[in-house]
């Protein structure tokens, strides 16, 4: 029972021929399929002048009284208004408040408010909205609520006048208002759901997480957890917009560097906020029509040294580490296609912030001095190895960690480098005992006031966070930080923080590496003053992304 | 009478599978519930950020019920899950079920599209390869399969993006629809299906273009496995006497391929396909990440990174239920192809 030779021959002849034909047809079909959409190539590319599409790391929290991160801060600054706004170049400027008076004892602040402001739904803004917003924040105790604990009472003195009485002197008080977004009290009350806040139900949390209740320059029109947030221009904003301001702003989440590069090249993105690998930035810088910009937000990169764990509990060991670090090597890593991703730090206060000391020296490597300091330490020649952790998700930081390891080898210090995920990082630093000797981290200002960085980092009562991973407990620094909150004169206060910064630097709680500048890429048809001229940077998390001031399209 | 016996067999078979499936879901629920809580990191601290005071963190922990005994937490979770209430996500601050209602259809659409590509082209490639064993179509097919299976799907994602989006600029690289289009009215959550139901053909075309690169990248390693498995089994069947017998009877090669060689060879292939398609639901996160596909897999990974307990548990439960359901469906398919499996199981 075998196949006949003729049939076999037929099969052999017919089979491959038909398959070859099929393969050719499949190829032709594929070619046709790919050629057809060629006409749609620019379908995704928007005409300039209408939209800003920007990469964002993750969904921001739309409720302005809950979050503390950058994506949420960007939403906050664009959807809401504040009594006082962070100003370009540092400091604060009037916004919803036109002026304010401070009583002689510094405990009573009275604000005069604008009378020409309307919320997005048309309701006029009044002092009741200010009082409601403050009480909402104080009651919910989320986000930056801690900044307002000092307020003993808040009272509306009229539709456009409000008074705050403080429990004690608190110099950063005005700057704190850059974090009190004013919500539409009537709208929020009308949309409150059942909750744990008595007559206020859930205080409108469910509503404000999905919709906006603000008066800011943009209106929230879409807020999808896994894809994008869309904002459209609010034409009735009291401060107005740049004449070429985008009608629509789209914040796209979770785009990976290769995708960002492809989309930027195809002009499907206008701006990249999320930190990109240097290789991608270099490639984008070479692409016609794309430029690099600098986002300086008052943050710094540090190797924090645990002051309560051996051997970094000895100031001489910490000094040796600081002297042995290869600052020049790190500076080389910060050059991205000729654009600096950081400038050398001069102590614990970033440049452009009150108390920054331009006369203080930047870090410089001196191996002989480092070895001498090590010899003076109580550990002498028997210094135990150091444990160093960095957040695995921050790819660039791994290079710094390895540079640190190599630098310390030159003075005979062994360093165990441990990459760990962010969730574990935060857990690891909850106690002094569990915090490793060295923690690589970025820290920055959360309000325009220097206190927001120094207090959370160095006061002995500040909560255990990555800010405070050096576990400082120095009575002199504590007193200095407490005094800084009571000095109302700006110049005296600046001098005080300069001196305090020197005291902190002398204790070497960290290797102060550089003031961070996030290098971003933008299409040339987008003008973004805060990202192109660092003198106009807003030194605050997310402060440089106020789309009202940006323009799209050819200059008019 | 015979029909009644057959129905009884199917019912017994189904009951056994459903019972086993429920046990699996229960086991997974206990395991993931405990594991999610054993992971390092305080979810309340992660949710509130570094500026929160200890009192704020403690309050949120109490609100989340994390200060209750573990058993009480589990019972509360099960009671909620039965009502499809998985609590609120710490990451999005929305009910987890609302997030999943958005992400699950996106992942399902991607997995189904990848599954279709995998099934059609995998079986076709395997069948052609076996039919022309050791000739050029077979050799080409084997080389292609080897290349496809050797590289993980995210590498394929990057290669395809480079070819069809960066250089050729033919296909989109992110999302499910172009910005200029409105999503069709929500019926199934699958944009392609909803576009057909709404008669929005331009939207359908756009959705298919967005689906092309992620679905093909996701399918390639599995497609190669299916092709290799189909080829091996068909080659084995071609060597059986009954195939020779069919040939001797003068059946055409096409009939022999489809009726005698392919059908028995499909049983292990179907089983593999079932596992692959379900696995795609959970494993698609890298492809979803590369193409910014707003699916459940990416959501699940972000939930893990933020230790968003409710979201982690919900995603794992949804995947495990889908795994059980699709496996039962595959078992049913296989049992109809080969009744001996059904009968053995019923006994």
Return the C-alpha torsion angle A164, A166, A169, A174, nearest 10.
-30
What separation in angstroms does the CA of B117 have from each of B129, B222, B257, B273, B330?
17, 10, 21, 11, 17
Return the C-alpha torsion angle A34, A39, A40, A41, nearest 10.
80
What separation in angstroms does the CA of A72 have from each of A75, A209, B167?
5, 11, 35
Pair (A477, A339) in one structural domain: yes
Cα–Cα distance between B321 and B142 in angstroms, integer?
35
Pair (A258, A368) in one structural domain: no
Cα–Cα distance between B156 and A349 in angstroms, integer?
46
Q: For residue A181, tell me if it sits in a domain.
A: yes
**DSSP conformation class of B257:** I
CATH number, domain of A329, equals 3.10.105.10
CB contact A31 to B (< 8 Å)? no
Return the C-alpha torsion angle A480, A180, B91, B64, nearest 10.
80
Of residues B102, B135, B291, nearest to A16 (C-beta): B135
A466: chain B residues, CB-CB within 8 Å:
50
User: Residue B340's pLDDT band (boundaries 50, 70, 90)?
Assistant: low
Residues with Cβ < 8 Å from A22, sequence gap 6 or more?
none
Pair (A457, A503) in one structural domain: yes
Q: For residue B65, tell me if it sits in a domain.
A: no
Pair (A474, A376) in one structural domain: yes
Which tokens hold the place of A363? 């870090």
Q: For residue B86, tell me if it sits in a domain.
A: no
Q: How many domains does chain A have?
A: 3
Q: Where are any strands of DSSP class E within A197-317?
A: 218-223, 228-233, 248-253, 271-272, 290-305
CATH number, domain of A139, equals 3.90.76.10
CATH number, domain of B242, equals 1.10.3720.10
Range of the domain at A493: 299-516
Which tokens hold the place of A368? 């002989």
Which tokens hold the place of B97? 């079920």
N- to C-terminal Cα distance for chain A?
A: 88
Pair (A412, A348) in one structural domain: yes
Q: How many domains does chain B have?
A: 1
Interface of A with B in 185-204 (CB under 8 A): 196
- pLDDT per residue over B102-135, tens digit each? 889 999 999 999 999 998 999 999 988 988 888 9
Pair (A512, A530) in one structural domain: no
The pLDDT tens digits along chain A (556 residues) read 334 444 443 334 333 344 444 444 444 444 444 444 444 444 455 544 589 999 988 888 899 998 878 889 999 999 999 999 888 777 788 999 999 999 989 899 999 999 999 999 999 999 999 999 999 999 988 888 888 989 999 999 999 999 999 999 999 999 899 999 999 999 999 999 988 888 999 999 989 988 999 999 999 999 987 789 999 999 999 999 999 999 999 999 888 899 999 999 999 999 998 888 888 999 999 999 999 999 988 899 999 999 999 999 999 999 999 999 999 999 998 988 888 899 999 999 998 889 999 999 999 999 999 999 999 999 988 899 999 999 887 768 899 999 999 999 999 999 999 998 776 787 788 789 989 999 999 998 888 899 999 998 999 988 778 899 999 999 999 999 999 999 988 899 999 999 999 999 999 999 999 999 999 999 999 999 989 888 888 878 888 999 999 999 864 4
Q: In Å, how far from its chain's centre is CA B218?
A: 10
Sign of CA dihedral A257, A259, A262, A263: negative
Q: Which of A142, A176, A204 delimits the end of a domain?
A: A204
Interface of A with B in 32-71 (CB under 8 A): 34, 37-38, 40-41, 43-44, 46, 51, 58-59, 61, 63, 66-69
Q: For residue B125, tell me if it sits in a domain.
A: yes
CB contact B66 to A (< 8 Å)? no
What separation in angstroms does the CA of B278 have from each of A142, B156, B222, B319, B329?
40, 20, 12, 8, 12
Q: For residue B50, tell me if it sits in a domain.
A: no
The pTM (predicted TM-score) of the whole model is 0.81
- At B24, give phi and psi (nearest 5°): -60, -45
* A191 against B301, higher pLDDT: A191
CB contact B339 to A (< 8 Å)? no
Supply the pLDDT for residue B347.
54
CB contact B105 to A (< 8 Å)? no
Q: For residue A276, tell me if it sits in a domain.
A: yes
Q: For residue B280, tell me if it sits in a domain.
A: yes
Q: For residue B93, tell me if it sits in a domain.
A: no
CA atoms within 13 A on the CB side of A520: 30
Interface of B with A in 207-266 (CB under 8 A): 209, 244-245, 247-248, 253
CA atoms within 13 A on the CB side of A457: 24
Q: For residue B168, tell me if it sits in a domain.
A: yes
Radius of gyration of chain B (CA): 24
Cα–Cα distance between A445 and A457 in angstroms, integer?
11
Strand partners, A386: A415
Cα–Cα distance between A352 and A13 in angstroms, integer?
81
Q: For residue A11, tell me if it sits in a domain.
A: no
Asked whether this complex has an ipTM greater than 0.90, the answer is no
Mode of pairing for the β-strands spanning A335-336 and A97-102: unpaired
Pair (A256, A336) in one structural domain: no
Closest CA to A275 of A369, A154, A391, A126: A391
Radius of gyration of chain A (CA): 28
Which tokens hold the place of A231? 């904002």
DSSP B73-93: HHHHHHHHHHTT---B-TTTS
Cα–Cα distance between A356 and A501 in angstroms, integer?
8
Pair (A292, A305) in one structural domain: no
Of residues A146, A205, A426, nearest to B46 (C-beta): A426
CA atoms within 13 A on the CB side of A67: 24
Range of the domain at B110: 2-17+100-346
Q: For residue B45, tell me if it sits in a domain.
A: no
Pair (A115, A136) in one structural domain: yes
Are A241 and A78 in contact, with CB atoms under 8 Å apart? no
Of residues B53, B102, B136, nearest to A226 (C-beta): B102
Q: Pick from A368-372, B44-48, B252-256 the range whose average pLDDT is largest.
A: A368-372
Asked if A262's CB is within 8 angstroms of B93's CB, the reply is: no
User: Residue B341's pLDDT band (boundaries 50, 70, 90)?
Assistant: low
Please, is B313 exposed, middle or buried when counting C-beta atoms within 10 Å of its C-beta (0-12, 13-18, 19+)? buried
Pair (A368, A487) in one structural domain: yes
DSSP A464-523: SSGGGTT----HHHHHHHHHHTT---HHHHHHHHHHHHHHHHHT--EEEEEEEEEEEEEE
Closest CA to A550 of A273, A256, A337: A273
A463: chain B residues, CB-CB within 8 Å:
50, 52-54, 57
Residues with Cβ < 8 Å from B168, sequence gap 6 or more?
A34
Of residues A19, A422, A467, nearest to B132 (C-beta): A19
Which residue of chain B is at minimal alpha-carbon distance from A393? B305
Q: Where are any strands of DSSP class E within chain B?
A: none
B253: chain A residues, CB-CB within 8 Å:
11, 15
* H or E element, residue A51: strand A51-56
Pair (A325, A361) in one structural domain: yes
Pair (A240, A342) in one structural domain: no
């Amino acid at each position: 029972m075998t196949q006949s030779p003729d049939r076999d021959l037929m099969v052999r002849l017919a089979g491959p021929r038909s398959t070859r034909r099929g393969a050719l047809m499949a190829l032709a079909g594929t070619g046709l399929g790919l050629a057809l959409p060629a006409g749609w190539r620019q379908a995704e590319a928007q005409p300039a002048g209408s939209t800003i599409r920007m990469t964002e790391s993750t969904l921001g929290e739309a409720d302005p009284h809950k979050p503390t991160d950058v994506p949420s801060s960007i939403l906050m600054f664009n959807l809401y208004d504040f009594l006082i706004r962070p100003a370009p170049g540092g400091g604060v400027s009037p916004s919803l408040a036109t002026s304010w008076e401070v009583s002689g004892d510094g405990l009573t602040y009275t604000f005069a408010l604008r009378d020409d402001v309307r919320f997005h739904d048309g309701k006029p803004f009044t002092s009741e909205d200010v009082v409601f917003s403050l009480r909402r924040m104080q009651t919910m105790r989320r986000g930056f609520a801690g900044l307002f604990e000092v307020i003993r009472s808040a009272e509306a003195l009229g539709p456009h006048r409000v008074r705050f009485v403080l429990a004690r002197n608190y110099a950063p008080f005005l700057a704190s208002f850059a974090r009190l977004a004013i919500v539409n009290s009537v709208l929020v009350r009308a949309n409150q759901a059942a909750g744990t806040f008595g007559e206020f139900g859930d205080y409108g949390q469910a509503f404000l997480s999905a919709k906006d209740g603000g008066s800011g320059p943009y209106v929230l029109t879409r807020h999808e957890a896994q894809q994008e947030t869309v904002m459209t221009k609010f034409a009735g904003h009291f401060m107005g917009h740049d004449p070429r301001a985008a009608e629509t702003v789209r914040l796209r989440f979770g785009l990976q560097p290769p995708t960002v590069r492809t989309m930027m090249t195809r002009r499907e993105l206008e701006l990249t906020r999320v930190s990109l690998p240097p290789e991608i930035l270099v490639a984008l810088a070479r692409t016609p029509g794309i430029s690099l910009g600098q986002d300086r937000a008052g943050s710094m990169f540090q190797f924090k040294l645990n002051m309560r764990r051996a051997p970094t509990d000895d100031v001489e060991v910490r000094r040796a580490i600081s002297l042995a670090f290869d600052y020049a090597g790190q500076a080389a890593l910060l050059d991205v296609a000729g654009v600096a991703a950081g400038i050398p730090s001069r102590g614990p206060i970033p440049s452009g912030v009150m108390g920054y000391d331009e006369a203080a020296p930047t870090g410089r490597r001196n191996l002989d001095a480092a070895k001498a300091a090590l010899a003076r330490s109580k550990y002498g020649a028997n210094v135990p190895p150091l444990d160093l952790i960095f957040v695995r998700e921050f790819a660039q930081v791994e290079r710094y960690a390895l540079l640190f390891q190599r630098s310390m080898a030159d003075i005979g210090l062994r360093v165990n480098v441990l990459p760990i995920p962010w969730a574990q990082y935060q857990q690891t630093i909850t106690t002094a005992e569990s915090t490793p000797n060295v923690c690589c981290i970025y820290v920055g200002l959360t309000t325009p006031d220097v206190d927001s960085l120094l207090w959370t980092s160095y006061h002995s009562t500040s909560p255990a966070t990555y800010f405070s991973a050096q576990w400082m407990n120095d009575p002199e620094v504590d007193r200095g930080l407490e005094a800084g909150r009571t000095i109302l004169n700006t110049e005296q206060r600046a001098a005080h923080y300069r001196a305090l910064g020197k005291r902190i630097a002398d204790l070497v709680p960290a290797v102060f590496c550089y003031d961070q500048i996030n290098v971003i890429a933008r299409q040339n048809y987008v003008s973004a003053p805060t990202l192109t001229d660092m003198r106009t940077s807003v030194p605050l998390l997310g402060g440089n992304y106020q789309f009202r001031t940006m323009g799209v399209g050819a200059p008019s | 009478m015979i029909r009644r016996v057959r129905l009884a067999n199917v019912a017994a078979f189904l009951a056994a599978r459903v019972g086993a499936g429920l046990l699996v879901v229960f086991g997974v629920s206990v395991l993931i519930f405990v594991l999610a809580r054993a992971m390092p990191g305080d979810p309340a601290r992660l949710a509130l950020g570094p500026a929160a005071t200890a009192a704020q963190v403690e309050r949120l922990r109490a609100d989340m019920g994390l200060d209750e005994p573990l058993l009480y937490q589990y019972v509360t979770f099960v009671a909620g899950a039965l009502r499809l209430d998985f609590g609120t996500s710490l990451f999005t601050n929305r009910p987890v079920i609302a997030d999943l209602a958005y992400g699950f259809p996106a992942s399902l659409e991607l997995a189904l599209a990848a599954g279709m590509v995998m099934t059609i082209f995998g079986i076709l490639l395997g069948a052609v390869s076996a039919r022309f064993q050791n000739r050029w179509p077979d050799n080409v097919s084997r080389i292609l399969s080897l290349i496809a299976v050797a590289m993980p799907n995210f590498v394929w994602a990057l290669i395809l993006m480079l070819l069809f989006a960066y250089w050729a600029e033919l296909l989109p690289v992110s999302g499910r629809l172009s910005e200029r289009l409105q999503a069709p009215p929500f019926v199934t959550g699958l944009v392609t299906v909803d576009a057909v139901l709404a008669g929005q053909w331009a939207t359908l075309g756009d959705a298919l273009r967005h689906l092309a690169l992620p679905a093909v990248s996701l399918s390639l390693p599995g497609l190669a496995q299916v092709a290799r498995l189909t080829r091996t089994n068909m080659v084995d069947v071609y060597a059986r006497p009954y195939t020779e017998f069919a040939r001797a009877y003068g059946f055409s090669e096409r009939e022999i391929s489809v009726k005698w060689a392919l059908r028995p060879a499909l049983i292990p292939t179907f089983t593999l396909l079932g596992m692959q398609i379900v696995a795609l639901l959970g494993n698609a996160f890298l492809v979803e990440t590369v193409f910014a596909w707003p699916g459940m897999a990416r959501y699940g990974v972000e939930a893990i990174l933020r230790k968003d307990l409710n979201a982690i548990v919900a995603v794992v439960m949804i995947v495990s239920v889908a795994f059980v359901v699709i496996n039962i469906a595959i078992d049913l398919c296989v049992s109809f192809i080969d009744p001996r499996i059904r009968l053995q199981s019923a006994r």
